[in-house]
Amino acid sequence: MVGPRLKTATLFVVIIALFVVVGGLVGEFIFGTWIAGLIVALSLSLVLNLVTYFFCDRIVLWSTKAKIVPPEEAPRLAKIVHELAPEFGLVDPRIAIVPTQTPNAFATGRDERHAIVAATEGILRMLNDRELKGVLAHELAHVKDRDVLLMTFAATLAGAISYAAQIVFFSMLFGVGGRRGSVNPIVLILALITAPIAAMLIQLAISRTREYRADQVGAFTCGDPEALADALQKLESANKAKPINVGSPAQSSLYIVNPFRGGSFASLFSTHPPTKERIRRLRAMRTDYQYRPNVRGPALRSGSPGRPSRS
């Protein structure tokens, strides 16, 4: 089975290649040189996504109405995060509470020094300590792997491809360009229609891959895949029954399960992998391990075929 890291790297290679092709076509069509299209499209997307990257924690807190709280205001949440953080080699992130009864959690912040782990009021009510630990381990795995940076990079490339398509559309509309280049108009139009869709699908696939990775690393580190599996089962049912009432669907990838259920979409267009498959993979991890109390992490069974890949 291809590991999450290899799959993420492969998807990034594909989206970079897609950007180079589209940017080159745009540059040839408008500026007469392929490099100009790459520079213009990338610059537009880079500025927007850099702002998002550096201010993502503030933007997310504002839009979700989450409030950063001192440990004494959320002692249970603070205690579990404090116990888990060293297991991931992290300093204690700030903690926040989201004022909604829909059970969910997310992590944000561009690096571990700016990290925030947020939990809704509902998840603190619904999950027991063992399940909550599994969820928070998943979120700390996102922080450890710097997934905010990875997804910002993916969004930048996908955005650049979209901007390139828009540049050509408006150029055609106003009769700009199209004289100096040697691009076949039919090829150009097909590329501009399909490329932004393909880029979006790749971006979503990267998001799903990172969720699988965070499940694996979180469960491996806390030593109890069943805890996260049990939590996901509860969260999926609760979020379907009562979608979250704060924030925007554009932020669905932040949460451990999709909290917005405004319509029915194919799994291809989802920011999260199917919860049933996530649960199946987590429960399968249990066959390779035995669990002993007061032992840091899972211990390998004698005769086991080996540990799940951390790649």
Domain annotation for the chain: domains and CATH numbers: 4-55+147-207 (no CATH), 57-145+219-286 (3.30.2010.10)
Q: Model pTM?
A: 0.77
Region 9-18: what's the mean pLDDT? Answer: 82
Nearest Cα neighbor of 50 from 178, 187, 148 is 148
How high does pLDDT run on average in the chain? 81
Residue 105: beta bridge partners?
119
DSSP 296: S
Q: Indicate the pLDDT class of residue 45, thresholds 50, 70 and 90.
A: confident
Q: Indicate the pLDDT class of residue 238, thresholds 50, 70 and 90.
A: very high
Phi-psi region of 247 (alpha: psi -120 to 50; beta: other; left: phi over 0): left
Position 198 scores a pLDDT of 85
How many residues are given for the chain? 311
Catalytic residues: 139
Position 268 scores a pLDDT of 54
Would you call 91 helix, strand, or coil by DSSP? Answer: coil
Amino acid letter for position 216 = Q
Instruction: Decide if pLDDT at 218 tops 60.
Output: yes
Q: Indicate the pLDDT class of residue 47, thresholds 50, 70 and 90.
A: confident
Task: Give 258's Cβ-side CA count (13 Å radius).
Answer: 20
Position 286 scores a pLDDT of 64
Position 255 scores a pLDDT of 92
Would you call 22 helix, strand, or coil by DSSP? Answer: helix
| CA distance to 37, 105, 149, 248, 266, per residue, from 210 (Å) | 30, 16, 12, 20, 19
Q: Indicate the pLDDT class of residue 177, thresholds 50, 70 and 90.
A: low
Lowest mean pLDDT among 12-26, 78-92, 94-108: 12-26
Burial class (CB in 10 A: 0-12, 13-18, 19+), 265: exposed
* Better-predicted residue by pLDDT, 43 or 66: 66
DSSP 97: E
The three state secondary structure string of 74-119 is CHHHHHHHHHHHHHHCCCCCEEEEECCCCCCEEEECCCHHHCEEEE
User: Do 222 and 134 contact (CB within 8 A), yes or no?
Assistant: yes
| Each residue's pLDDT tens digit, 115-167 | 999 999 999 999 999 999 999 999 999 999 999 888 877 877 787 788 777 77
Alpha helices in 55-126 (DSSP H): 56-64, 75-84, 121-126
**Two structure tokens written together for 54:** 């550096």
The sign of the torsion formed by the CA atoms of 233, 140, 58, 196 equals negative
Q: Indicate the pLDDT class of residue 57, thresholds 50, 70 and 90.
A: confident
**Two structure tokens written together for 256:** 């451990």
Q: Indicate the pLDDT class of residue 204, thresholds 50, 70 and 90.
A: confident
- How is the beta sheet containing 116-120 ordered, strand by strand? 67-69, 94-98, 116-120, 105-108
* Helix (H) / strand (E) containing 9: helix 4-26
Nearest Cα neighbor of 158 from 106, 213, 207 is 207
Q: How do strand 94-98 and strand 116-120 relate by DSSP bridges?
A: parallel
Position 175 scores a pLDDT of 61
Instruction: Decide if pLDDT at 269 tops 80.
Output: no
Q: Indicate the pLDDT class of residue 291, thresholds 50, 70 and 90.
A: very low
Position 188 scores a pLDDT of 72
DSSP 219-285: HHHHT-HHHHHHHHHHHHHHHHHS---SS-GGGGGGBSS----SS---GGG-SS--HHHHHHHHHHH
Percent of the chain with pLDDT over 70: 82
Instruction: Decide if pLDDT at 263 tops 70.
Output: no
Quick one: angle between helices 4-26 and 147-173, nearest 10? 20
Region 196-215: what's the mean pLDDT? Answer: 89
